[in-house]
Structure 1
Amino acid sequence: MRDVSVVGPLNIDLLITGQGPPNWESIPTWDGPSDMEMTAAGSVGYTVQNLARLGLSVRISSCLPDDPLGAFILDALQRAEIDTRSVNLVPDTVGGIGVYMLLFGSRKRPLTYRLPTHPMWPLEFSSEEIDTLLDAKLLHNGGYLHYKDAWHGATRDLFKEAKARGLITSLDSQFPLFAMSPPWIVGLEDVLPSIDIFMCDDGEARHLTAASSLDEAARILLDAGTQTVIIKQGDQGSTVYQQGWQHHQDAIVLGELVDSIGAGDTFDAGFLYGTLQNWPLEKRMLFASIAAGFTVTGVGGSQTMPSQTQVMIEMEKRESRFS
C-alpha cells in the first residue's frame, strides 16, 4: 500500500524572470533579454513532487502528450520517485503550458496558457485501475474545476468508492478554465460529500459560494458535505474550518519572496503529510505553512521544497509543544 494516490492534470510551466522594463506599458516595444525556466509539472505536479520530497510514496493518474514535453514531465516525476504507471501517453496531442511573466514580481496566475488537446486525466477507470489507485491511505485530486468533462462522472465515483473503502480523501478545487459565473460549487455538489479535506484559496472560496466573507464561504462548503475546509490566503496566512470551529495560521516568512508559484501546492502537500501522521489540525497548518514559506524563496513550485527534517527544525523554533 502506498501513502497517496493523486488524480489530476500535469503541464509545463514556463517561468520568465530577470530585469524587465520599467513598466507594463513598455512591454510592446521592449527588446531586452530575460531568463527562462521550464518546470514540471504544474499545480498537481508540484504537489506530488513535494509529497515525495517529504518521504511519502505517491502514485499519479493523469494524461500527457506522447511527445518531448510529455517525456520531460514524465522524467521529472520519475526522478522524484513518483509511480507514473497510471499516466497515459496520448499520441497526436499537445500538452498544457502555463506562461508566467515574473519580470514585475511574483504572480499567482499565468499570463497566458495553452490548454491540452488530450484529456487532463482519465475520464474512465477500469476496475483494476480503481483497485490500484485505492491501494493507498489517501486519495487526492487537484484542479477538479479545471476539467468540466470530469464533473459528475468517474472521478466523483472514484472518491465515493475511496470513502467506502476507508481512505482519507482530499480535493483542491482550483478554478474553471472557461467562463463560469459564481457560484462554482455547482460543479462540486455531488463530490463534496465524499471529501474529507477541501482546499481552495480565498478568491476561489468567494467564487465557489458567492459569499461575502470567508467565514460564510467556509460554512457553505461545510454544509455541502465536506468535513474540513482550508482557505489559503497568501501572505495573510490560512484558515482551517470545521463545523463550529476554526483556526487561523499566519504566513511563515523564511526569506525574501522570490516567486509564489506552487506555494499553495506545497501547502497542500504539507497539510496532507501531517494528516497521514494524524497530527492535530493546528500542527498540520503550521507544518504546511513552513513548507510553503520555504518554497517562495526560490523560482518554481518544487525546486526549493524543503525536506521533512528541515520543516521540523523550523517547527521546533516556533512551537515547542509540537516537538
Structure 2
Amino acid sequence: MIRTVLGFRQTEGMLDPLAAVRTPQDPACDVYLTGTVFLDIIFTGLDSAPVRGTESWARGMGSSPGGVANMATALARLGLRTCLAAAFGDDVYGSYCWDSLAHGEGVDLRLSRTVPGWHSPVTVSMAYEGERTMISHGHEAPPPEQPMPGLPHWGVPPARAAVASLVPGEPQEWIATAAAQGSRIFADVGWDDTGRWELAELTDLRHCEAFLPNAGEAMRYTGTDCPRAAARALTEHVPLAVVTMGPDGAYAADGRTGQTAEVPAIPVEALDTTGAGDVFTAGFLMGSLAQWPLADRLAFAGLAAALSVQEFGGSLSAPGWSEIAAWCHRVHACPAQDPAELCRYGFLRVLLSDSERPWPLRRAVPTIGFRQLP
C-alpha cells in the first residue's frame, strides 16, 4: 500500500530509519536540497578511452537524473523524506527526470518548477579502466518570477537537515535561512579553481554542522599533509569534520566532544565512482539524524559508497535498504569472514532484524523513451 504524508510518498513496509526519533512536532521534510538537475547518459563497457578520429562502441548504456538528483535519490532510497527545489526543462529530458524522481524515487518536487523554453542540462559520462570522463552542456536556468507561496524568503521549507555544496567566495543566502530555521547543514565543497584554497572564502561554513571534503581538499584548505590532521584542524571552523580518504576509508573529528573515529574502506572492484561522494554524504547524514554513534555513521556511509561504486551511474547505483540487507545477509553467511570485521557492522543487524520483510524497490527507469505500442 502506498500512502501520502504531507506530499511524501510512503510505501507500506518501507524501513523508516528515523522511526525511533520522530515526534509529532518534527517538520514533514527530513532533508532539503537545491541545485541543478542534469540528464546523465552513461556509456559503459569501454575497453579504453575514446581516440580522436575513431568511433568507439560501448557494450552498455544507461540514463538517469544526475547532478543534485544523485544526492536526492541516495537520500530517498534510504527512507528519508527528501524535498528538492530545482529547475526542470520543458523538454523530453526534463519530463523524464521529473517523472523518475517524483514517481520512481518518491522525491518531493513541490518546490521545483518547469521552465518553459529552457532545455535540460546534459552530461555524457564514459566509464573505462575504473575511471570516468564526462562532457556536459547546459545554461543557467532563469530565476523564478515570484517566490513560492507560503514559504519564507528563498523558498526554504522547515527541514531536519539540508545538504549544501559550498563555493569559495560565493555565499548562498538559502544556507543561512535554512540554518536559522533549525536545519542541520551538511556541506561538501568542490575543487577550488582559483588555487587559493582559503577557508575564509567558505563563508557559509559558519552555518554548517558538518563539513565533508575529500582528503585532497581538506589538506589544501588547512595547509596540512595528513588527512587526519586536516580533519582536526577543520574542527576549529565547523563542529564536525569528516574527511574521505578513498581506498583508505574515512576519518571524522568532532570538535564539540573531542571524539574521533576512523573506518577503513570496504575493498571492492570499483566500476564507476560517479555519485559515490553523494552516497557517502547521504549515509552519514541519515546516521546523524538517527543519532547513531560517530563510528557507526562512518561505517554505514562507507558501506553505502562501496555498494554504489560496484554499479554504473550516479543515481542509478545509489543503494537502498534491499541492497544493504542483501549485503549483510551475504557477508554474515560467508564462513571466511573475520569476526572482528563483522562486528563493525553489527549495528545493522538490529536495524534489519526483520529479514523476511518484502523490501520494496523504488527505482527510476534507466532508459529514456520506451513506448508501449497499442
Indicate whether the TM-score tops 0.5. Answer: yes
In structure 2, the partner of 1:172 is 188
Q: Deviations over 1:253-275 (max 9, x none)?
A: 3x532211111111111111111
Cα distance in structure 2, aligned partners of 1:186 and 1:128: 35
- 1:114 aligned to which of 130, 137, 158: 137
Cα distance in structure 2, aligned partners of 1:217 and 1:183: 13
Instruction: Please say if residues 134 and 167 of structure 1, whose CA atoms lie closer than 8 Å, have aligned partners that are also in contact.
Output: no
Q: Against the structure 1 CA distance between its residues 19 and 41, is the aligned structure 2 distance closer, same or farther, given a 3 Å change threshold?
A: closer
In structure 1, the partner of 2:247 is 235
The percent of aligned pairs where both chains have the same amino acid is 25
CA RMSD of aligned residues (A): 2.9
The number of aligned residues is 304
Q: Against the structure 1 CA distance between its residues 65 and 187, is the aligned structure 2 distance closer, same or farther, given a 3 Å change threshold?
A: farther
In structure 2, the partner of 1:181 is 195
The gaps in structure 1 that reach 5 residues or longer are none
Cα distance in structure 1, aligned partners of 2:286 and 2:84: 16
Instruction: Please say if residues 63 and 87 of structure 1, whose CA atoms lie closer than 8 Å, have aligned partners that are also in contact.
Output: yes
Cα distance in structure 2, aligned partners of 1:193 and 1:139: 14
Instruction: Please say if residues 156 and 177 of structure 2, whose CA atoms lie closer than 8 Å, have aligned partners that are also in contact.
Output: no
Report the 3-state secondary structure (helix = DSSP H, G, I; strand = E; otherwise coil) of the residue aligned with 1:160.
helix
Report the 3-state secondary structure (helix = DSSP H, G, I; strand = E; otherwise coil) of the residue aligned with 1:52.
helix
Report the 3-state secondary structure (helix = DSSP H, G, I; strand = E; otherwise coil) of the residue aligned with 2:243.
strand
- 1:161 aligned to which of 180, 184, 187: 180
More displaced, 55-64 or 255-264? 255-264
Q: Deviations over 1:56-106 (max 9, x none)?
A: 111011223332222222111112111011113233333333332213333
Cα distance in structure 2, aligned partners of 1:251 and 1:122: 43
The gaps in structure 2 that reach 5 residues or longer are 1-27, 333-341, 351-374
More displaced, 4-13 or 53-62? 4-13
Q: Deviations over 1:173-221 (max 9, x none)?
A: 2335xx31221534422x1121111112222223444443323432443
Report the 3-state secondary structure (helix = DSSP H, G, I; strand = E; otherwise coil) of the residue aligned with 2:150.
helix
- Is 1:86 paired with 2:111? yes
Q: Which amino acid aligns with 1:6?
A: L
In structure 1, the partner of 2:272 is 259
Q: Which amino acid aligns with 1:88?
A: R
Cα distance in structure 1, aligned partners of 2:86 and 2:201: 20
- 2:304 aligned to which of 258, 266, 291: 291
- Is 1:130 paired with 2:138? no
Cα distance in structure 1, aligned partners of 2:146 and 2:198: 23
Q: Against the structure 1 CA distance between its residues 303 and 111, is the aligned structure 2 distance closer, same or farther, given a 3 Å change threshold?
A: closer
Q: Deviations over 1:96-132 (max 9, x none)?
A: 333322133333xx4332243216x979966833387
Report the TM-score when normalising by structure 1. Answer: 0.82
Report the TM-score when normalising by structure 2. Answer: 0.72
In structure 2, the partner of 1:63 is 87
Cα distance in structure 2, aligned partners of 1:315 and 1:280: 19
Per the TM alignment, residue 286 of structure 1 is displaced from its structure 2 partner at its CA by 0.9
Instruction: Please say if residues 20 and 32 of structure 1, whose CA atoms lie closer than 8 Å, have aligned partners that are also in contact.
Output: no
